[in-house]
Structure 1
Amino acid sequence: MLEELTNRIHAGESIDVDVCAGAHPEYAGQLRRLLPAMQALNAFGGSHTAGKDFTEPFAAIPPTTGVLGDFRIVREIGRGGMGIVYEAEQISIGRPVALKVLPFASMLDERRLARFRNEVRAAGQLHHTNIVPIFAVGSDRGVHFYAMQLVVGQTLAEMIGQLCRDRGLETPVGTMPSPGGATAQSGETARAALSTVRTDNRGAFYRKAALLAIHAADALEHAHACGVVHRDIKPSNLLVDERGVLWLADFGLAAVEAGADLTMSGDLLGTLRYMSPEQTQGSRVVLDHRTDIYSLGVTFYELLALRPAFDAAERAELLRQITDVEPLPLRRVDAAI
């Protein structure tokens, strides 16, 4: 039925929600909730949505212009596990923002919708100079979204990748671009500065890396003090703006003061290469703030060494390395560290 409705909406047919709900009373509640969102998403994209399957995980507003509540969409800037992020303008005050939109398929999944709300709850209660703040949260015609500060710069993942390319090294798998945060890549000042000091003055590079690590550690200390464990610290969730200030983003997997468990039994949530040994055990153990500290350590190990702390390509071997092997000491990678 959902496929039939999708095709009718793509064909330009206007579907009366009341009539449709009356024809399918067993699904009336779901139809009243989902049909307005389907029609709204189709309206944003116009012809660009032709052939799009709204049941796909990232079926949402296409990278064109549109309006959601008080926000005018400018362009798509990233996709992450929990949604699509757009550069947008808050119409009422003319403020640029990053707007994260929940994909349509996630509206069909109560667990994904719960994680989206959990992300808003976790990040929304944190107020720190190194944590991307949330400005507003809302729903327009059934489309869920929230607005956050737009950070002009790059992710730490992109910076590590560029440093590797500058030195002719293989780019680590974990640092391939996968932005789901709030970065707009309209400037390369921070990345260029870090690349220059890495080439010209390794001591200055290591001091700059240490400063970024301090920013991240300060942000995590604040989150932990507020009862929030991030659980997905990795280079692509650390943003560096044009001034060289680091921002912590993407609280989609955060645990809030022993709140409801949003995992399935045995789930591995997060990116394996940056997981703590206890996090690789899935839901069999309770995670606390120490898992974030570990993940931050392996993240900055990668920045300093320009190689992952653990580099196995196969999942089983990578799990074994994380749980049983010590990383190569950094000073054996580079005695100048």
Structure 2
Amino acid sequence: MTSIWDPIRIGNMTLKHRFAMAPMTRSRARPDGTPGDLAAEYYAQRAAFGLLIAEATQPSDDGQGYLTTPGIYTDAHVAGWRRVTEAVHAKGGHLFIQLMHTGRMSHPDNTPHHRQPVAPSAVASGQKMFTAAGMLDMPEPRALSTEEIAATVRDFAHAARQAIAAGADGVEIHGANGYLVQQFFAPNANVRTDHYGGGIENRARFAIEVARAVAEAIGPERTGIRLSPGSMFGGIDEGPDSAALYRYLVPALAELNLAYLHVAHSGDEDLLAEIRRLWPNPLLVTRDNRPLAKAADDVEAGRADVAAVARWALANPDFIERYRLGVPLNEPDPTTFYGGDARGYTDYPTLDKTAAAA
């Protein structure tokens, strides 16, 4: 039986254990999208995870959806992320930057150019977005032309090259949680009649093109992708052929020999088992609300190669040591998840600080 403490090879990295830090939006970037002053400290504190997947990072102005999220497409972004990667590497960790284009999950007030969001089709999400003026309805997006789709694919590739220039070990393409890539999957968000809409093959085309372009730009060994089969976040409904779409998509992505597939699991155990069978390279799985006692279950049962940890990592920079010793965890403070300063970001106590205080 595989143990959570067994080493694993992912792409160019040899990791000491089977935990990883999942990507979590923290909304603490500077107004221009450069990582904030405390970002290097925040990620370096968590370097013991081995593989850290950084927060969702936009590949272009059009890709931004939320306030103060980071970018990785300008020289200033590269310089800011280089401080982060150097700090993580100095502590023995590896960093993949997650590339997220939010598509219709956006509001003009939150973007540098204040333009209408773009999406596969002009179909509003029906959701609200937090802005500086409070919660506002997300507007109807503008449908991307085929030429703009190609340009968006190039934006992902450019952002991936910028991430490597910043010293990142790779990138994770965000194809999950209701954002642009998954919007192409969903018939209620994608009503196109060209070769990006309609049947499963067409709805999967954009994801495959993005993955291929990124892998060609930086190498498949530096490229991961995250999927969330069945997720309804952001008003997404993949319809009755959702499982069939992933049965088609996963083997197509496998042909690219990507470093890993990361599944944000929403409960379809049969589909997860099928993805496990269809995917030949390392499989990461994130489960929301699992009890700590079951943190290693997917790895030990062979359902996954790596267990990706989210909120536990947010509140416990020394999660690996705490889990190994079986000691209590810090509780995360939801009021500090998004935006703010060091509170709830870099000030969670570690075991040595807790002992010193006691």
Question: Shorter-chain TM-score: what band?
Answer: under 0.3
Bigger helix share: 1
Higher Rg: 1
Larger relative CO (CA 8 A, sep 6+): 1 or 2? 2
- TM-score, normalisation: structure 1: 0.27
- TM-score, normalisation: structure 2: 0.25
